Amino acid sequence: MVYQPACGARDILPLDVARQRWLEQRLERVFQSWGYQEIITPTIETLATLTAGGTVRPETVIQVQGNGDEPLGLRPELTASIARAAVTRMAGMQLPQRLYYKTNVFRRTTGAELGNQQEFFQAGVELLGATGLAADAEILWLVQACLGALAVEEAYLLVGDAHLTQQLLSPFPAELQKTVRQCLANLDRVSLQALPAPWRDRALALFDLRGTPREVGERLAQWSDVAGVADRFAELQQLLGLVAESLSITLDLSLVQSFDYYTGIIFEVLISTETELRLVAQGGRYDQLLSIYHPDGTTVPGIGFVFNVEALLQAIAIPPAALLAPRSQWLVVPRTSNALAAALHHAQTLRLDGSTRVELALVDLTPEQIRAYARDRQIPYIAWIESDAPPQIEALSDGATYLQIQSV
């Protein structure tokens, strides 16, 4: 029997780990430079926590058996877990709270998706306890700072507003609002064409309500009879005016996220590759979510975003993994079994500065096999150890060797 990873899971081998860590470390440095602090929440949450308020559908959660009767599940995203932690474990702390995370999440695949990946890696931030123009602008600027740290040149920001879109849906009869919303979320134009008149034309107009802020503003004229639309759109224009020009911005008022907790701006980040536009990040404002978890139902505003690490890795240029993986500088080789103690001591002496990587030869090989191993691992120095003599240092260069005798 050949043992393989579970369906939907995969191994990440050392060179791929080096690429992923390279990316995560750059994002983390940006998060920290903006004053965000790392938070780690449990991999396992109660199913009630994960699905509170309808934010996550139970069928998308990988459920696990706990010690008690309460159903448990692996987190499919982080916002709900952080919201729970913020209003229970961090209650009373000074607001706003700036939090970031880099971790894995799990989503159950069903039906035609069976066999697809079920474990994903994410890195993102949550800004809790702040609302208004300044907080929204900070998040969009932070997105740009992250893309800049990764040297992304062609990125596109797709911006919507959940509140404004809900205002645009309000003229529809109650029984049609859910249908239209689902069609927007699923990009299902065909089903909208089957709606009865006059709602069909208005639904199709909403489906196509994207472009530059000016273009969208002109097309909003047909919703002039809906209270609050003009004022909300003016606020959205003011926000977009604060966003730096390093991103190409498209305003999309048909943008609806799969999670239902967004109450204000929502956005997606796409990166242009040789073959496609790849979705690498998404986020938005969720001012009602934390009240679901607060013991007193107190409302605490929040906004955040998340990068899909795998999608980023596939979309951006990263130095070759061989250059990113940390290499050992020394291979310490005991010439005889009697020299093992001396070799262990010498290797430890080399490591004392805390930055030098040292390997100990563990297999009985010929000198040429030792050298071949060191070259394959790109180890520049070999220390040959005798039990009663100074170390013999050999430097490997361009496939050739030269000997230098010294004490180290």
Phi, psi of 360 (to 5 degrees): -105, 130
- Between CA 290 and CA 296 the distance in angstroms is 11
Among 125, 135, 130, 136, CA closest to 266: 136
* Helix, strand, or coil (residue 158): strand
In the 8-state DSSP scheme, what is residue 111?
Answer: G
Amino acid 90 reads M
Is 381 within any annotated ligand binding site? no
CA–CA gap between residue 269 and residue 281 (Å, rounded): 5
User: Do 37 and 99 form a contact (C-beta atoms < 8 A)?
Assistant: yes
Which residues does 63 contact at the CB level (< 8 Å), separation at least 6?
47, 71, 72, 73, 74
Q: Would the annotation count 79 as a binding residue?
A: yes
Strands of the sheet with 265-272, listed across from one edge: 37-38, 97-106, 119-128, 302-308, 277-285, 265-272, 155-161, 248-252, 210-211
Q: Tell whether residue 350 is among the known ligand binding residues.
A: no
Round to whole Å and give the CA distance between 404 and 396: 11
Q: What angle do CA 145, 149, 154 make, to 5 degrees?
A: 80
The residues pairing with 169 across neighbouring beta strands, listed in sequence order, are: none
DSSP-derived secondary structure for 54-74: GSS-GGGS-EE--SSSS-EEE
d(CA 55, CA 57): 7
Is 164 marked as a binding-site residue? no
Ligand-binding site membership of 122 (annotated): yes
Does 288 count as an annotated binding residue? no
Strands 97-106 and 37-38: parallel
The sheet with strand 389-397 has its strands ordered as: 358-360, 330-334, 381-386, 389-397, 400-405
126 is in an annotated binding site: yes
Is 45 annotated as a binding-site member?
Answer: no
Q: List binding-site positions for L-histidine.
A: 77-79, 107, 122, 126, 261-262
Binding residues: 77-79, 107, 122, 126, 261-262
